[in-house]
């Protein structure tokens, strides 16, 4: 009797080192410009080729601007990193989606939408949020630069087998509560270290009811509670999403794939190392108040009082509140904000833009708010336009930007200025993550939309 994780892991073991790591075969290697230059340099130094080039896909996302992409990148460091990725793709004969390529976008958005991410796969990328692809019933995790080189050279990686955890979200979500709220609630309950050393399977009624976009959001944030990754068993929702996508199986191969994918579920009597159950009916729209994703609360809640924080966490708690300019016990409803960011590998998909556009329809953007609405890929942008969402956004005073990681992290032009408050649909609210001195309040697309039209933290 095996868990879903064990079935996939065991099917990919090449060799096991006694009292050491496992050599694991990798089905899909995704690569971006930030964590790959030294890996390719390592291959050159050793005179090696990429072992399985057809299983390697490159895209530029972290360093690219989200305006005027038809012009050269202004920032020298960013331009150099993107140019280096393009050169490495040419030199090693690899598929590369560069600037202005219709398939360009954030690595964790383009993998699923092109059908690269499939059930039963092992997927890696030099990026912590690779856990996103686990939504398809895959083992997907982030790796370091030396490991990127290892996979390029051998299509294998050395990994210590993680423990297994299942998190059950039982019951139905309330109206206006989405996958981002589930994730922020979960991390606030389990803490940012609550799943360290585990690979998490998400299950329960609320998870089964999520769209693929929602499942990707939930799996994306697994890493923020210390997990190695997260995954959801594939089902009809998964199959419907994948059908007809460019790199998904076709014809007879599709039928064979479906037959195999239907076996990818945890056996009834399989045991997890840890199991947690969450009452999904109790989850409200969530926001963060501190400087890590675990410092979250219901939007209408109050920041914890100092006495309720354990002794070990007091210093971090006080430091976080000082940075954010908040006080223990304070409510944040009605708090004025300066920026709203919709996008990132967490919430840059079509569903996120539908939620945002649906809320702002017939309303107007607040004058005090600068809003950056950044699709996760050109395909998402095309879909936004095909559905007329761009017109709704435009009429409400919003401008749609071009794809990229944007204000998720300050590696491009989209930086939140020091001291300014940003309601952000991204994944991390660390000090300076969105720009030196920036203050990040994480939220889902609906809460972000409400903040954008009221100019303050508001109940959607």
Q: Going residue by residue through the chain, which has 460 residues, state the pLDDT in tens, using 9 for 90 and above.
A: 999 999 999 999 999 989 999 999 999 999 999 999 999 999 999 999 999 999 999 999 999 999 999 999 999 999 999 999 999 999 999 999 999 999 999 999 999 999 999 999 999 999 999 999 999 999 999 999 999 999 999 999 999 999 999 999 999 999 999 999 999 999 999 999 999 999 999 999 999 999 999 999 999 999 999 999 999 999 999 999 999 999 999 999 999 999 999 999 999 999 999 999 999 999 999 999 999 999 999 999 999 999 999 888 899 999 999 999 999 999 999 999 999 999 999 999 999 999 999 999 999 999 999 999 999 999 999 999 999 999 999 999 999 999 999 999 999 999 999 999 999 999 999 999 999 999 999 999 999 999 999 999 999 9
Chain mean position to CA 148: 19
Decide the pairing of beta strands 156-159 and 22-25. antiparallel
Give me the DSSP letters along 415-446.
-PPTT-EEEE-SS---TTTTSTT-EEEE--HH
Residues with Cβ within 8 Å of 148's Cβ and at least 6 positions away in sequence, in order, are 29, 31, 35, 36, 39, 126
Distance CA 294, CA 447 (A): 18
CA–CA gap between residue 364 and residue 424 (Å, rounded): 19
CATH number for the 287-454 domain, one of 3.90.230.10, 3.40.50.300, 3.50.50.60, 3.30.499.10?
A: 3.30.499.10
Closest Cα to residue 62, out of 405, 442, 424? 405
Q: How many residues does the chain have?
A: 460
Asked if 117 contacts 209 with a C-beta cutoff of 8 angstroms, the reply is no
Task: Show the beta-strand stretches assigned E in 77-210.
Answer: 95-97, 122-125, 139-142, 156-159, 163-170, 198-203
Phi, psi of 315 (to 5 degrees): -65, -45
Contact by Cβ (8 Å): 425, 346? yes
Instruction: Select the CATH number that applies to the domain covering 4-159 from these four: 3.30.499.10, 1.20.120.850, 1.10.1740.10, 2.60.120.560.
Output: 3.30.499.10
Domain boundary assignment for the chain: 4-159, 163-233+262-282, 287-454
Dihedral (CA of 237, 241, 244, 247) sign: negative
Are both 4-159 and 163-233+262-282 of the same fold? no
Instruction: Look at residues 161, 127, 166 and name the one whose alpha carbon lies nearest to residue 147.
Output: 127
Give the CATH architecture of domain 163-233+262-282.
3-Layer(aba) Sandwich (3.40)
- Indicate the pairing of strand 13-16 with strand 22-25: antiparallel
At residue 1's C-alpha, the angle toward residues 190 and 165, to 5°, is: 5
pTM of the model: 0.98
Q: How many whole angstroms separate alpha carbon 212 and alpha carbon 219?
A: 10
């Amino acid at each position: 009797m095996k868990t879903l994780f064990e079935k996939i892991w065991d099917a990919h073991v090449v060799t096991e080192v006694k009292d050491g790591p496992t050599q694991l075969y990798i089905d899909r290697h995704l690569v971006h410009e930030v964590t790959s230059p030294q890996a390719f340099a390592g291959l050159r130094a050793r005179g090696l080729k990429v072992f399985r080039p057809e299983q390697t896909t490159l895209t530029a996302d972290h360093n690219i601007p989200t305006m005027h992409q038809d012009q050269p990148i202004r920032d020298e460091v960013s331009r150099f990193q993107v140019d280096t990725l393009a050169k490495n793709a040419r030199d090693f004969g690899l598929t590369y989606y560069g600037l202005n390529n219709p398939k360009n976008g954030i690595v964790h958005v383009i993998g699923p939408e092109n059908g690269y991410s499939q059930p039963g796969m092992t997927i890696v990328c030099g990026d912590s949020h690779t856990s996103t692809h686990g939504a398809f019933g895959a083992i997907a995790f982030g790796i370091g630069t030396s490991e990127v080189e290892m996979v390029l050279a051998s299509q294998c990686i050395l990994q210590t087998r993680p423990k297994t955890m299942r998190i059950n979200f039982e019951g139905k979500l309330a109206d206006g509560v989405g996958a981002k709220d589930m994730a922020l609630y979960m991390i606030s309950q389990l803490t940012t270290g609550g799943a360290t050393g585990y690979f998490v399977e998400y299950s329960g009624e609320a998870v089964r009811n999520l769209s693929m976009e929602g499942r990707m959001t939930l799996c994306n944030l697994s890493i923020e509670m210390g997990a190695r990754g997260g995954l959801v068993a594939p089902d009809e929702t998964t199959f419907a999403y994948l059908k007809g996508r460019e790199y998904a199986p076709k014809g007879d191969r599709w039928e064979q794939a479906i037959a195999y994918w239907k076996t990818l579920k945890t056996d009834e009597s399989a045991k997890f190392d840890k199991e947690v159950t969450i009452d999904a009916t109790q989850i409200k729209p969530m926001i963060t108040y501190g400087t890590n994703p675990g410092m979250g609360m219901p939007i209408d809640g109050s920041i914890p009082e100092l006495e309720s924080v354990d002794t070990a966490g007091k210093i971090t708690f006080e430091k976080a509140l000082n940075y954010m300019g908040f006080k223990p016990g304070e409510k944040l409803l009605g708090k004025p904000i300066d920026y709203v960011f919709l996008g990132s590998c967490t919430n840059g998909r079509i569903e996120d833009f539908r939620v945002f556009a649906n809320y702002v329809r017939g309303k107007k953007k607040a004058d005090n708010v600068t809003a950056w609405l950044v699709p996760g890929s050109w395909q998402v942008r095309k879909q936004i336009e095909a559905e007329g969402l761009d017109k709704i956004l435009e009429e409400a005073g919003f401008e749609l930007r071009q794809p990229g990681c944007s204000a998720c992290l300050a590696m491009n032009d989209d930086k939140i200025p020091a001291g300014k408050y940003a309601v952000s649909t991204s994944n991390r609210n660390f000090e300076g993550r969105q720009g030196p001195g920036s203050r990040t309040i994480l939220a889902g697309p609906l809460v972000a939309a409400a903040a954008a039209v009221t100019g303050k933290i508001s109940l959607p």
